[in-house]
Chains A and B, each alone.
Chain A
Amino acid sequence: MLFLLKYSLKNLLRSYARSSILCVGLSTSFILIVWLLSFNYSAQKQMTQEVTQQFIGYAQLFHQEYYNQDYSEINPYRVLKIDPTKYHEASNVCGRLTIPTFISGPQNMAGLLLIGLDPQKELQNSSIHKMIAQGTFLNEDDANNIIIGKRLSKKLGVQQGDELVVLGQALDGSIANDLFTVSAIIDFGGGDLEERVAFTNLASGRNFLSMPADTFHQLVSFQSTDSLLPFNETQSKIDNWQQLLPDVALSMRFTSSFCWLLSVVIVLIVGAGVANAFFLSFAEREDEIKSLNIIGIPSSWITLSLGIESLCLTLFSLFIGNILAWLIVTYFSIHPLDMMFMTGGQPILLGGMEISSAVSFIHYPLFYLVANIIIISFTSLAMVYPIWSAVKRSKHVA
């Protein structure tokens, strides 16, 4: 057995240039797969976090008739009454109002959603306040302060401190109109959100809509669905961010599937390359393999030896590949990779706002396991034919 191993290894080393090339090919493909999967995983995790932390939240609770079936319309009359003590205790749940309005400034008019926020809770949970470009974030006791996006402020021709007219329909059916003061300008990196939403506090929002105290349109959780469960009643419904932003979720699923597909393609190509290289190597050694048969070496021994030869190469390559892949992923976890190189320097907008383009990699052991398994199984499978044909030819006497 020891001799068999020695024989196989010596065979592998005799054409060490070819073996090295195969080794480089195999380990590179391993690294590529782990890199690709880690990159995709880390980027998606980061995007999800950013998208959900910035505004939309991880999950939302609302009246089951608040959205229409395809989420294209909202019905602001469907509000939730929430027990105030329970609401105050749930520190990671932010209550919000969403009010369809027309807003008019000196130069222009726009339709948008005026979002009523709980300033204290938003400060602790979301990152909306971090995107204030000018002025200060909302306060609980403000009256009719409004924060608008940079793009909207240009469109309307208003600046911080200016007044705006907001028009809408109150819950009692009457026309709601009020003057709001621009207290801050928010910067979502130029995303749609800058024109589609504006923010005020809960009190001003309720006042505008003639909405009773302790009523909300949504409760937003930034961690998980769990913290919303205590508020879930027969009339309400909980949706996670994938349901709220289906196109973002879909594109993430698409990229994931694509990465896996690409990994399999890489393995198929490399597997075919390795099989072909061994096929040629065995063909070159046909005389030798034949003389093994002549001096009485059993086919099983020859098969095993050729198998060990290819397996050793695969295992050694994977050994190198694992170490290098780990080092490379570690490097990118310390020095985040800026995705702007893929977008031609354009900022990455997702869910209506700009998200950070620097991805710091996360080690995910499953990817190493999967990459090892698929490479070993594909190359082993690919070796069946070259070995089988070499052994078969060894039995033919010219």
Chain B
Amino acid sequence: MLLEIKNLCKTYGNQAEVQVKAVNNISLDVTQGDFSAIIGPSGSGKTTFLNLIAGLLLPSCGEILFQKKAIHLMSEKERTSFRLNNIGFIFQNYQLFPMLTAYENVELPLQLKEKDQIKIKDRIEKALELVGISSLAQRYPNQMSGGQQQRVSIARAIADAPSLILADEPTANLDSHTAHEIISLFKKLNKELNLTFLFSTHDPRLIDQVDRVLTMSDGIITGGIA
């Protein structure tokens, strides 16, 4: 089992009357090679849930075990290192570094994990090829379309073949055609490299390619827990 989530909850706010239960008692298992999507309206708790898994937020109750290790018990420093070594993160607004080229954006996290410069070069080139933008390697983010930027972001996330790829509304800023292409790319990477994906979206039209759809509303996953 890659990821075991037990009775997870997250409450924002201290005073009882303004408390928001953003994640309310969710239990979920994720196995290596899963391709899952969390779908739910805005405010249903998708971002909170993904941030909890990434160790960016600490749960109010419950457990998150990643390969049997309890993320919620780790220190801030350990969680950062955990993200670097195990998680690939894809953002809604790509979060590329504007002064770095596509190539260098992919390179950044690799430089912290790997010493061998030849291996690094190899991985960057492979990742850029997998997402189909090898020819744009030397472009800066502002010289690329949204879809292309998201591909760079994906290359950065998958370059080191992490155990889990988390993506929070990766297609929300893209037109529906490009959005479909990005999800197809996820699917391709999932199939070819057996990468595990867990992404959120509020667009029901995107879920036709997804193996496992988790419907979320008001902090609760109401469907698809199989």
Q: Which A residues have a C-beta under 8 Å from some C-beta of B?
A: 3-4, 6-7, 10-11, 13-14, 287-288, 291, 293-299, 301, 395, 397
Contact = CB atoms under 8 A, between A and B. Distances in A.
B95 A287 contact: yes
A7 B99 CA distance: 8
Given A297-B108, A298-B84, A301-B112, 10 more contacts: A7-B104, A14-B99, A291-B95, A294-B91, A296-B84, A296-B89, A297-B109, A298-B81, A298-B112, A395-B76
Nearest first, the 8 closest Cβ-Cβ pairs linking A and B are A296-B84, A296-B83, A291-B95, A14-B99, A10-B99, A3-B111, A397-B56, A295-B89
B156 interface: yes
23 contacts: A3-B111, A6-B104, A7-B108, A11-B99, A13-B99, A14-B98, A287-B95, A288-B95, A288-B97, A294-B54, A294-B89, A295-B89, A295-B109, A296-B80, A296-B82, A296-B85, A296-B89, A296-B109, A296-B112, A297-B112, A298-B80, A301-B112, A397-B57
Interface residues of B, number: 28
Contacts, number: 62
Nearest to B93: A287
B210 interface: no
A238 B145 CA distance: 85
A302 to B, nearest CB: 10
Q: Which of B85, B95, B156 has the most CB of A within 10 A?
A: B95
Interface of B: 51, 54, 56-57, 76-77, 80-85, 87, 89, 91, 95, 97-100, 104, 107-109, 111-112, 156-157
Contact of A397 (B51, B84, B111): B51
What secondary structure prevails in chain B residues at the interface with A? Answer: helix
A306 to B, nearest CB: 14
B100 A10 contact: yes
Given A3-B108, A298-B112, A397-B56, A293 B80 contact: yes
A7 B101 CA distance: 11
A298 B108 CA distance: 12
Contacts of A6: 104
A397 B109 CA distance: 20
Contacts of B112: 296-298, 301
A11 B104 CA distance: 13
Nearest to B82: A296
A294 B88 CA distance: 10
A112 B183 CA distance: 105
A297 B91 contact: no
A10 B97 CA distance: 10
Contacts of A293: 80
Contacts of B107: 3
A295 B84 contact: yes
B215 to A, nearest CB: 24
Given A3-B108, A288-B97, A295 B56 contact: no
B107 to A, nearest CB: 7
Contacts of B100: 7, 10
Given A301-B112, A395-B76, A295 B83 contact: yes
A301 B76 CA distance: 15
Nearest to A13: B99
B80 A299 contact: yes
Q: Which of A4, A294, A297, A397 has the most CB of B within 10 A?
A: A294
